[in-house]
Amino acid sequence: MTNLRGSTTARLVQAKTGEQLFERTQEHIRPLIAMIDELNEVEVGAEDELRVIRQQLTRLVFRAQPLPQRQVAPKSRSARHRGGP
């Protein structure tokens, strides 16, 4: 049996509200920022790595945008009255 207590995926699934999910994402974003800062401090050799990270984060930005609200069109008059009396 697999122990999922420490699993990031298991913790994300357990988080039900937007606020809880936001807190979980912050747990991962903060260390990522620190690692990027470390890569930027390296004098030579991290350009390729930073380029890859930049491309991945750019793709992530588009995934993080809220989806537009789905509007439900009102039922047409004919659809409401098809059932008959």
Question: What is the Cα Rg of the chain in Å?
Answer: 23
Query: Domain extents for the chain?
Result: 8-68
Dmax over Cα atoms in the chain, in whole Å? 80
> What is the rounded distance in angstroms from the CA atom of residue 9 to the CA atom of residue 7?
5
> What is the rounded distance in angstroms from the CA atom of residue 85 to the CA atom of residue 82?
9
Q: What is the pTM of this model?
A: 0.55
| Token duo for residue 22 | 């936001």
Tell me the torsion sign for CA atoms 25, 9, 62, 22.
Answer: negative
pLDDT digits (tens, 9 = 90+) for 29-62: 999 999 999 999 987 889 999 999 999 999 999 8
pLDDT digits (tens, 9 = 90+) for 7-19: 656 655 666 888 9
